[in-house]
Structure 1
């Protein structure tokens, strides 16, 4: 994995990434490590974090910056109020002053239309994608205000820009992320705290497998006939946004595969 932008501004910074056990979160943690940052990896699946931590160690070694190199794993469910509210006390001493918070934890569940929605799925999407993100931000924004420094990067979605049938609740959750992020930026514009919303289009990760409740065959159909984005592509944008000069805030980025122009505008190859 390589990056074409300077990462010197990230040297020895402390970055906390939620949802870091796979997909975009894992790729983001690894790329921050390569850039010479110190990284806290947080996720529900604690057993997966050790593997990602080793990938971070190797990335830092391969990157050869000589900076960063400190890592910690944290079992964290953003739906667990107690875990979120006490997260600062769970951080190691070297991570007591977080510089960048990446709110990446999120998911989609089901493709049912309104009238057939499963409220267990509805509650989990809203709790994770909206309430969990807000709660994490609430904790760290106060730390950032006290220092008049910091960067909050929320991972949104194209679903927060253009809704689609079969995704009403997921789209609503990502519209909420977009609105919350924009409002937060306006609340903090007279500070040195930066706020960004990174909005991916079609990315091939575990996202669709989770959405289809483990049905890999249906999940694979989502990416049939098109070269989707990879988790590393989104990690590039997140780390790029974090590496800008302090006076530069990347407010919003919308990233799609070349052959996607929206939820409905996807050019698929019919070649076999």
Structure 2
């Protein structure tokens, strides 16, 4: 494995789940960390156990002005971000499209799409100028496989996939890489957030099967980030052994 010594990684949604696991894994490989999230106590607790220096950014990625100001305020030793892990994302509710909340849809779009765009736009020029860097977008198998109630969430992850692919097209020939990591079922706070705090329903989501863990995804992100500079991992689709592809939805009358 190539070391990340001397590299700086910025991870959004670092206060829990996949983001926290990615921060730990990248730190263990030698990278300095910029930890982005909205829960200061959790970020402080994470920073205290990292193997490399870290800097905390309290930030809501949905705010363009806040993202721009936060990136501009990075201390010199953290300002040259080499690895951007766009992990902050969510789903809200499982309602069918005609019953869904438009407010929920907007929140999902603002987080999953605009947040990624804002961070990428702020950090990509520096990567291109230095001719080294890696953008890792945390997508989902929902980008490819639709399911009832997935509606806006699946659409945002399809956007993320196509955005990643088009970034790669623009960056061809440079040493700035782009990867879309698409997990299936991962047992984190994701489902609890989606179900708006209904812990009983959230626990049943993983009942009777072994889901992926946040550390499994972090291991994949680290592997992608530590390939030789001429190697770009475009897309990684990963599911637990207990999950597979759904059948077509058929309504029988």
User: TM-score if structure 2 supplies the norm length?
Assistant: 0.95
> Hey, what does 1:32 align to over in structure 2?
26
Residue 19 in structure 1 maps to residue 2 in structure 2: no
Assess if the C-alpha contact under 8 Å between 1:21 and 1:49 holds in 2.
Answer: yes
Question: Shift of the alpha carbon at 1:125?
Answer: 0.2
Q: List gaps (5 residues or longer) in structure 2.
A: 249-253
Q: Which runs of structure 2 are paired with 1:120-131 in the superposition (5 Å)? A: 120-131=103-114
> Hey, what does 1:160 align to over in structure 2?
143
Q: C-alpha separation between the residues in 1 aligned to 2:86 and 2:154?
A: 17
Residue 186 in structure 1 maps to residue 183 in structure 2: no
| Structure 1 SS opposite 2:218 | helix
User: TM-score if structure 1 supplies the norm length?
Assistant: 0.89
Write the deviation string for residues 90-140 of structure 1: whole angstroms up to 9, x where unpaired: 212211211100000000000000110101110000000011101111111
Residue 244 in structure 1 maps to residue 227 in structure 2: yes
Write the deviation string for residues 41-70 of structure 1: whole angstroms up to 9, x where unpaired: 0012222100111221xxx2xxxxxxxx21
| Structure 2 SS opposite 1:94 | helix
> Hey, what does 2:92 align to over in structure 1?
109
> Hey, what does 1:177 align to over in structure 2?
160
Residue 138 in structure 1 maps to residue 121 in structure 2: yes
Q: Which runs of structure 2 are paired with 1:1-272 in the superposition (5 Å)? A: 6-8=1-3, 10-56=4-50, 60=51, 69-262=52-245
Write the deviation string for residues 192-248 of structure 1: whole angstroms up to 9, x where unpaired: 110000111000000000000000111111101100000000000001100000000
Assess if the C-alpha contact under 8 Å between 1:158 and 1:263 holds in 2.
Answer: no
Which 10-residue stretch deviates more, 207-216 or 41-50? 41-50
| Structure 1 SS opposite 2:49 | helix
| Structure 1 SS opposite 2:197 | coil
Q: C-alpha separation between the residues in 2 aligned to 1:136 and 1:130?
A: 10
Assess if the C-alpha contact under 8 Å between 2:2 and 2:228 holds in 1.
Answer: no
| Structure 2 SS opposite 1:228 | coil
Write the deviation string for residues 135-173 of structure 1: whole angstroms up to 9, x where unpaired: 111111111122222111100001112111111010001
Question: Shift of the alpha carbon at 1:7?
Answer: 4.0
Q: C-alpha separation between the residues in 1 aligned to 2:247 and 2:129?
A: 44
Q: C-alpha separation between the residues in 1 aligned to 2:16 and 2:54?
A: 16
Distance 1:155 1:264, change over 3 A: farther
Q: List gaps (5 residues or longer) in structure 1.
A: 1-5, 61-68, 266-272
Assess if the C-alpha contact under 8 Å between 2:83 and 2:135 holds in 1.
Answer: yes
